[in-house]
Structure 1
């Protein structure tokens, strides 16, 4: 067996050479690649005309002032980099919170982006604290998607994501902006191995290992001068305010300490409040600087001593109405990645119309930043200020109630969408009670629902963590259940594991307190699928063993069957086809012990159909084609007999498996008949990526039958479906196949 990287590379090249000569073997190699993942192809050629060239920079602020020295320094770093060294130029900008690192680096990136024709990647790493910092895996998944990799093709584990990212970036000239890093460990996996690229990193912390081990150049950003502080203040306030005495403006600027966040917050308050005078603001800030006895902050203390950012936030908070102040505090009960109108309304217990108005009020005075349509974000220092006030003025009881309102609403939201994404799957939890889908719903409704879940996935994960922190175990595991469709179809394995570890423990605690004991096994099975996605087979097997035991202990046969079925899918991934078949047959036997009226009995027909399909797949892999054909045909019959007109999507999946079986058996004509039916089923379901797979398989049928023109036509159709569904990896692979055929 090939063990070293060189041996594996040589084996891979040999397999690919044989596959090019043998269409039958090519299909087998493609399946090995898909299952094992260790021969992942380059997602997008580095400089191909169709390569994705992302432009992810956020807008630059119109009030930006000074920092020419930063632009000059970064240009110097870039010009001094060794283009033959195989590493990008790395510049690390450090400084206190609110000092303007993000604004400076974004302004520099815009100034230099013409030098990077292959695009710019940007991410806020949320590294103000360890608890909020994004894991590298989440960032790599985001970057890979923007580089043209379909989400379902992104590897599950961080190491393979990193390798694919570096492969995608190879020979490109790109800029990567990593804002607000917490540690070097957050940054290193995101470094491309491309000498033509530039990496800009900002952090409040010294990242010495980047300097010592990766050749980064450091720069410490200091406060603005008084002259530039005055200039920034006047830009933020605008020309519509009456001219103020220079002395008053300078006093405000000096009180803000040259910190851009404090200057912008203070200036925004002056810009929107005509009654607020420069002299009054200067006096408020001065009183806070002088400490106790000279002026009190809104929370009853000194207002933060000499911290200019805290002083500015105290001053802005003091000018809010009582309603808006309470709203401001309510938004900060948890570190939501973004604050939506729904989240804000529930946290503050107001209607959504009023929430929109109050969000806009806070954005106008620079206490919130609008980052998308009806989507806002706190600067982490502002949120810390609001959270401190919430603890002091509202207490744990009100904060806990706010978190529960947000969590309950997000559970309803996610459960409804999950039901639309996978309407026929069996579910646990009262959140699904009463959910009914319209009979005539749009075939693309599931796809739209999945897109909505994806947009909110980071907020949903934050809601799981918040509910766990505040002790709402009933909501924690149900939220995980409601995210099953999202994770099963799109991955995001790091988040999946993180949330479902909480889900397992929450379900166990609830079971001890007379909760739903079935939830323990359910969470463990879902966690096992996450482990499978990142190649942690032993962890997956252990979780499934625990799931079987938990479901057996509470007499939940439907859950037990699901756990044994999942173990069979794990064995299938490990190419242990005989063991996989045994697991599927055992799961079917467990289903057979469920009687009418028992828990889960309504789902038995569909679950049985799925197991018939799995057994047929396992038999195909063992080349027992006669038995496989019988099983797969039985699965077709089972799916057709399901209530509500059957399960057309899974019928199509079975036809795909039948086509693959006939191809393996050397009968391309029968394979084509099955794949034609799979095409119709997937077209009816609107399943774009599956359609691409079907057309690609059908092209193999044509090649085996020497129908070159038909093969090219099907490959072109497959490429179009891959492209339409954002899978540029698949599209590029198909184009390469077309080029070979046409040559």
Structure 2
């Protein structure tokens, strides 16, 4: 790979712009560029050290090494390329060529390959009279001049592979660095280019950048403000540079004031009236030039879609496009570094790119925006509604009106798939509810709270459930059916109780009971009494809980609702057991278990088995207790009921301990402890930790 010494007549071009003086971070990306240069040959995988050497390059394969750095506008592609190039100048003693291809810039049209080749020929000292007229001949002469020379060619800001290919040397002694916002697929496919997708800076790198620009003392003096600036910029290099420029040119302004301004003004603060290269909106706008009108609309609508990320079916609903067209639009935006295709079929935007898309969406008509949001909200609502039916088929669910035209809810085969979808889409569903509230789509707010209720309870997402039902109660004021407000108070009361807000819970349930009595709805009345039994039981007042449980049982029996009757039977049995009425408790819980099994309700069956396990524990039949508890755990695990699994593990551990099965007790309590921590149940965490500590003590005679 070593070339012969340059002849005296050879021109050694040194076209690299100056190295970025305040470059910081990007250690992993610089190392990746080093690896791309030194691992082209299979036997060079063992090269170690700070960077490649001429000896390393001599072992590379007989092809030109091309590295393509891709990423969004303002992400720092050119700075990375120049920083790497200047750190490795000694590897290219025969010169460096550089051209800005203006693929995305305020200059307008990209540089034509013929113009770029001619510029390189001039830089290489070719007599203008010797330069052929055709592009192919010029490119051939260019390759001949580079043959055998150790040179670096930097092709900055490329828009297409067509711009790049005529500028590729033919000699394996040369290295090419390409930067561009688009993934240059034919360069990767046909020329073996190594693609490096450049992301945002880490928090540490972002802080280091501000420290280098502003001085370590100023950054150290306002750590909270710096943290907020870093968070608001989300590691975006151009945004951080703009903030650093604003701060450095206004040294008397506290960084905290700049953080407030950025938080309030957002993209407006990152704009510039006269210098487009110093404006995030302007730099991003250049990426839209090669998009079709349809693709620009998809980009804009993604900016206003609720949630941190999205999926292909949701985008199809949002845009009203058929799935193939939506997939094509997302692919184009991904290739242009405007969206990021993530694992499991998810698509996301950087926060600043999304903010820019939101500003572009303001150029769309109100009808286009509102209709798009209505479609994507209906997609999420109807899919969530279907998941609730799969998770809790015995629970009555208010019917939905048909989705708006063009919406095809996601089809899910079973409860496991429903749980997986809810876990993946949970943040988006909560954002959808908030967006629906803002747009006054009150029925969406209400029905989403209802559709998410089982999932929230089973996963122990108490705060999320509480927020969802508070929003639903506000929405109920705008809906015509008065029973909806009754149900909102009932569900919110239960959510408050689960969150430990027992006084507020009781108030909401009393409101619900007062309203339902006036509307003569015995079914709803039975449900309210059932929840009141839960609330009083959580407060330790089993006598008051038992009164409400018996009210619920009497009403359910008169209404011929066997599954609801089983719920009330189990409630009566549970509270009776806690009050010491073991025979009554056992009879009611066994009757509840039979009803649950007869009507194929595995969730209720698990509840009854848990109660029977508790009764067996109270009577000293610990082997029977373990058997009941383990059956309950199996059912609850199968249906994703993590909240109740934690409690049952906690309970079965006590029987294991009494039986002397200490290793098993330790195992189940450790799992319960981890679940309690995940669910934010701090009181339970402390109690189970004490049980584990006692279990590890030499004297294990304490009560369990």
* TM class by smaller structure: 0.5 to 0.7
* Matches of 1:397 and 1:413, distance apart in 2: 24
Contact 1:564 1:586 in 2 (8 A): yes
Contact 1:564 1:584 in 2 (8 A): yes
TM-aligned CA deviation for residue 738 of structure 1: 4.7
Residue 353 of structure 2 is aligned to residue 402 of structure 1: no
Contact 1:340 1:375 in 2 (8 A): yes
TM-aligned CA deviation for residue 453 of structure 1: 1.0
Number of the residue aligned with 1:640: 597
Q: Structure 1: give runs of 5+ residues left out of the alignment.
A: 1-57, 82-88, 108-201, 209-218, 221-255, 263-284, 291-304, 595-600
Number of the residue aligned with 2:436: 467
Superposed, 1:84-95 pairs within 5 Å as 92-93=225-226
Residue 268 of structure 2 is aligned to residue 311 of structure 1: no
Contact 1:696 1:715 in 2 (8 A): no
TM-score, normalisation: structure 1: 0.54
Contact 1:468 1:476 in 2 (8 A): yes
- Structure number with greater CO (CA < 8 Å, separation at least 6) is 1
Number of the residue aligned with 2:580: 623
Superposed, 1:157-556 pairs within 5 Å as 206=259, 289=274, 308-370=279-341, 372-392=343-363, 394-430=364-400, 446-511=415-480, 516-556=481-521
1:217-274 residue CA offsets vs partner (Å, 9 max, x unmatched): xx99xxxxxxxxxxxxxxxxxxxxxxxxxxxxxxxxxxx99x9x89xxxxxxxxxxxx
Secondary structure of 2:274's partner?
A: helix
* Matches of 1:590 and 1:561, distance apart in 2: 6
Q: Structure 2: give runs of 5+ residues left out of the alignment.
A: 1-197, 241-254, 404-408, 680-684
* Matches of 2:630 and 2:324, distance apart in 1: 46
Contact 2:490 2:531 in 1 (8 A): yes
TM-aligned CA deviation for residue 371 of structure 1: 5.5
* Matches of 1:492 and 1:692, distance apart in 2: 13
| Aligned CA distance change for structure 1 residues 648 and 453 (closer, same or farther; 3 Å) | closer
Number of the residue aligned with 1:686: 637
1:510-532 residue CA offsets vs partner (Å, 9 max, x unmatched): 21xxxx44322222222112211
How many positions carry a matched residue from both structures? Answer: 471
TM-aligned CA deviation for residue 591 of structure 1: 2.6
Secondary structure of 1:467's partner?
A: helix
Number of the residue aligned with 2:614: 660
Contact 1:635 1:654 in 2 (8 A): yes
* Matches of 1:60 and 1:315, distance apart in 2: 19
Secondary structure of 1:339's partner?
A: strand
* Matches of 1:734 and 1:629, distance apart in 2: 28
* Matches of 1:102 and 1:633, distance apart in 2: 59
TM-aligned CA deviation for residue 458 of structure 1: 1.4
Number of the residue aligned with 2:628: 677
| Aligned CA distance change for structure 1 residues 527 and 367 (closer, same or farther; 3 Å) | same
| Aligned CA distance change for structure 1 residues 702 and 344 (closer, same or farther; 3 Å) | closer
* Matches of 1:344 and 1:549, distance apart in 2: 44
1:694-719 residue CA offsets vs partner (Å, 9 max, x unmatched): 56544533544xx42x3433543564
TM-aligned CA deviation for residue 345 of structure 1: 1.8
| Aligned CA distance change for structure 1 residues 389 and 100 (closer, same or farther; 3 Å) | closer
Superposed, 1:33-182 pairs within 5 Å as 68=208, 70=210, 92-93=225-226, 102-103=235-236
* Matches of 2:387 and 2:369, distance apart in 1: 27
TM-score, normalisation: structure 2: 0.57
Contact 2:646 2:676 in 1 (8 A): no
Contact 1:699 1:714 in 2 (8 A): yes
TM-aligned CA deviation for residue 727 of structure 1: 6.2
TM-aligned CA deviation for residue 93 of structure 1: 1.4
TM-aligned CA deviation for residue 454 of structure 1: 2.3
* Matches of 2:212 and 2:551, distance apart in 1: 68
* Matches of 1:712 and 1:99, distance apart in 2: 49
* Matches of 1:401 and 1:731, distance apart in 2: 51
* Matches of 1:731 and 1:534, distance apart in 2: 19
* Matches of 2:300 and 2:627, distance apart in 1: 59
Worse-matched range after superposition: 674-683 or 347-356: 674-683
Number of the residue aligned with 1:579: 544
* Matches of 2:355 and 2:392, distance apart in 1: 39
Worse-matched range after superposition: 680-689 or 358-367: 680-689
Contact 2:238 2:280 in 1 (8 A): no
Secondary structure of 1:424's partner?
A: coil
TM-aligned CA deviation for residue 486 of structure 1: 1.8
| Aligned CA distance change for structure 1 residues 461 and 79 (closer, same or farther; 3 Å) | closer
Larger Rg over CA atoms:
2
| Aligned CA distance change for structure 1 residues 521 and 358 (closer, same or farther; 3 Å) | same
1:366-400 residue CA offsets vs partner (Å, 9 max, x unmatched): 433455543333444443443333333x3222211
* Matches of 1:629 and 1:345, distance apart in 2: 54
1:517-568 residue CA offsets vs partner (Å, 9 max, x unmatched): 4322222222112211322222212221222233334443222211221112
Number of the residue aligned with 2:151: none
Worse-matched range after superposition: 451-460 or 652-661: 652-661
TM-aligned CA deviation for residue 306 of structure 1: 9.8
Residue 530 of structure 2 is aligned to residue 565 of structure 1: yes
| Aligned CA distance change for structure 1 residues 683 and 722 (closer, same or farther; 3 Å) | farther
* Matches of 2:476 and 2:312, distance apart in 1: 30
